[in-house]
Amino acid sequence: MTTKFTKTAAAALAALVIGAASLTSPAMAGGQISFSFSPADPDQQQALGMGLQMVSIFKGLSSTGANVSQNGHFNAAGFNQSGSRNHGLIVQEGNGHRGTVEQHGNNNNCGLFQFGENTNGSCTQFGNNQSSVTTVFGF
């Protein structure tokens, strides 16, 4: 069980690193592209949630509740959470981003990462024990 969980955690962390490393965007395209991942397996959900909490701690934020890290101008972030043990993380790098996280239930984890310019992303979770990550690139 521990080996499977460790491999799942490593895979989730690798997915986050690969997503963040591919920050290239086509010139003058004027749009956005997004990628989302929501594991169906409970072990993978737990691993992704732990990975998102580690990212929050690494950025000097809390591993619970609502967290925002923004680097740029004219960015906006909002949260709507009800329930307990929910963790939402919005990271915005660049200008003109709008991001929201809405969680209703218990023990949910959501990460929204926006890079580039002028993106509009959201994460919505209704229920319990869910994890997801969305990465949006604006160009």
What total of structural domains would you count in the chain? 1
Please give the model's pTM, rounded to 2 decimal places.
0.79
> Which domain range does residue 53 map to?
2-20+32-138
- Partners of 116 in beta bridges: 94, 138
88 within some domain: yes
- Partners of 136 in beta bridges: 34, 114
Kindly report the backbone phi and psi dihedral angles of residue 16, in degrees, each rounded to the nearest multiple of 5, phi listed first: -65, -45
Q: What is the pLDDT of residue 30?
A: 78
pLDDT class of 54 with cuts at 50, 70, 90: very high
Mean pLDDT of 53-57: 95
Q: 26-38 burial, b for 16+ CB within 10 Å, e for fewer?
A: eeeeeebebeebe
26 within some domain: no
- Partners of 35 in beta bridges: 135
